[in-house]
Amino acid sequence: DAKTTQPTSMDCAEGRAANLPCNHSTISGNEYVYWYRQIHSQGPQYIIHGLKNNETNEMASLIITEDRKSSTLILPHATLRDTAVYYCIVLYNFNKFYFGSGTKLNVKP
Amino acid sequence: DGGITQSPKYLFRKEGQNVTLSCEQNLNHDAMYWYRQDPGQGLRLIYYSQIVNDFQKGDIAEGYSVSREKKESFPLTVTSAQKNPTAFYLCASRLAGLNTDTQYFGPGTRLTVL
């Protein structure tokens, strides 16, 4: 089963881009990478997902390396409300999402 | 107003009592999931169901039970056999079992066993 590793925490200045890395070196060819975030004591919120091409939506961009062993979530202009725990998740066996411990992003004024 | 509802938001029980957590969705999703989250930790899968009247154990199913009698509902029972039941419990649903189907979460129930 593919697993993910992320830094425990990161800081970002308000208005700057936040780049959150994730390693998923054991990912297999048909496993998607998903990103969610969780604000304290709430349910996780979906951000974006991708297979091998870069993806962008209104919230963020997802950059996946060509070998698919790592990815980066980019929040282009971080605000204080983006302070949360960000989870990089691999969907495996078509039905199971593996959540690691995530990265605590602290956006500072 | 569509979505996933979990009730109650906070739940207190005495040790040794069974307790059932509610999860309802009106998204017409086939698959539903239960996760447990401990402080400072990620989510761990307890049970999941891909279709009515069928469910599978996740990574930490011991001490828990579920049922899936209706598509909209997936209640979780925390039994007295669960050694450390105090935790934050999250329910989620997905349209189907395709790789591209996003999982959506409810607001969670915080269970405290006294």
Q: Which of B42, B97, B108 sits opposite A101 (nearest CB)?
A: B42
B30 CB within 8 Å of a chain A CB = no
User: Cα separations (Å) of A34 from A37, A48, A62?
Assistant: 10, 6, 9
List the single residue in B with minimal CA-CA distance to A103.
B42
CB A3 within 8 Å of CB A98: yes
Examine residue B8 and say whether the peptide bond preceding it is cis (omega within 30 degrees of 0): yes
Looking at the complex, report in whole angstroms how far the Cα of residue A46 sits from the nearest Cα belonging to chain B.
Answer: 7
Helix H or strand E encompassing A56: strand A55-56
| Best to test chain B binding among A33, A34, A95 (most B CBs inside 10 Å) | A95
Q: Residue A97's closest CA among B43, B81, B67?
A: B43
Residues of A in CB contact (< 8 Å) with B are 30-32, 34, 41-46, 49, 51, 87, 91, 94-97, 99-102
Say yes or no to pLDDT of A2 above 80: no
* Token duo for residue B92: 């989620």
Cβ pair A41:B104 closer than 8 A: no
CA-based end-to-end distance of chain A: 39
**How many angstroms separate the CA atoms of B19 and A10, rounded?**
38
pLDDT band at residue A20, thresholds of 50, 70 and 90? Answer: very high
Distance CA(B101)–CA(B114), nearest Å, equals 38
Which residue of B4, B31, B42 is in closest CB contact with A99? B42
Identify the segments of chain B with pLDDT beneath 70. 1-2, 97, 99
A47: number of CA atoms within 13 Å, CB side?
26
Q: List pLDDT tens digits, range A36-93.
A: 999 988 999 999 999 988 999 999 999 999 999 999 999 999 999 999 999 999 877 7
Interface mutation target, options B68, B103, B104, B111, chain A, most CBs of A under 10 Å: B103
The pLDDT of residue A1: 55
Q: Does residue A12 have a pLDDT over 80? A: yes
How far does the CA of residue B71 sit from the closest CA of chain A (Å)?
Answer: 17
